[in-house]
Amino acid sequence: MYTMETMRQEIAAAVEKVRALKPLAPSITNTVTVNFVANAQLAAGGTAAMIYLPDEAEALAEAGSSFYINVGTLLPIYRETVPLAAQKLHALHKPWVLDPVAIGIGSLRTELLSLLKNYPPAVIRGNASEIIALAGLWNLSGGTETSNVHGVDSTDTVQAARLAAISLARFTGGAVAVSGTVDLITDGRQAVCSYGGSSLMESITGCGCSLGGVIAVYSAVASPFIAALCGTAAYNFAGREAERHAAGTGSFQLAFLDALYNASPKDISLTQFTPEEV
């Protein structure tokens, strides 16, 4: 169990380690947001590589320090690519992050997310409805496969996903980050609510997807819980800072990447979060 002080110390240490080591965190991700994911990973201090082909997935799962799998905008070839990446990562005991974007839409997405239960990720990042639906698909407490997923948007509150998030974290032995107005991060033993961000984050594509990629970067140097908390705190800090300088959604995206790049370990570690009982 982490105290608040040790959480802040571990967050600052993770930020410093990433910037010193520049770990490679390859991604299979949403084609709508691939550029933003890569640039956010670079801004955080990591190294990005975007994967489509099965042989690339195996090779870079081995070469990378961690990995990110996002099931948005699936391509037919991902029926091969995603399982091969997950199997390789599992065999190598490497941390990876799952974003179950738009769970419940289409048979291929359901097939892949069902299969990934066999290769548990270190961190699951999603909105409340996605977390509830994934717990339901995996037959875990707090979940239902008929959750209110609406495209890539959530119609459930973060607190409504609390039990599902805890169940998923306990099943994987890792952590879950539920994104919303107030974010929830849990490893199944403890939980925190993280505050900050900006309402403009809902008006651009890629904030959630790129957060998953940045959490994957931090997963290369920190425990799943600290990686999820660090990525979320970094985003809440950068979102708040970017809103101060942005004239609209276009300049907000640029200001967000600048804020993420310029954020100090202290800036991120001191972002507001509070403990919750589990």
Residue 274 counted as domain residue = no
Residue 171 counted as domain residue = yes
- Asked whether residue 50 is marked as a ligand-binding residue, the answer is yes
Residue 241 counted as domain residue = yes
Enclosing domain of residue 134 = 4-266
Tokens encoding 71: 């099931």
184: domain CATH number is 3.40.1190.20
Domains of the chain: total: 1
- Asked whether residue 125 is marked as a ligand-binding residue, the answer is yes
Q: Identify how many contiguous H helices and E strands the chain contains and give both numbers.
A: 11, 10
- Asked whether residue 179 is marked as a ligand-binding residue, the answer is yes
137 three-state secondary structure: helix
Residue 273 counted as domain residue = no
Residue 277 counted as domain residue = no
Residue 278 counted as domain residue = no
pLDDT at 156: 87
| Beta-strand pair 96-99/67-70 | parallel
pLDDT at 67: 98
Residue 127 counted as domain residue = yes
pLDDT, mean of each 10-residue run, the chain (278 residues): 96 98 97 97 98 97 98 96 98 98 94 98 97 97 69 74 98 98 97 97 96 98 98 98 97 98 98 92
Tracing tokens 């993420």 back to the chain, one arrives at 260
Residue 272 counted as domain residue = no
- Asked whether residue 206 is marked as a ligand-binding residue, the answer is yes
149 three-state secondary structure: strand
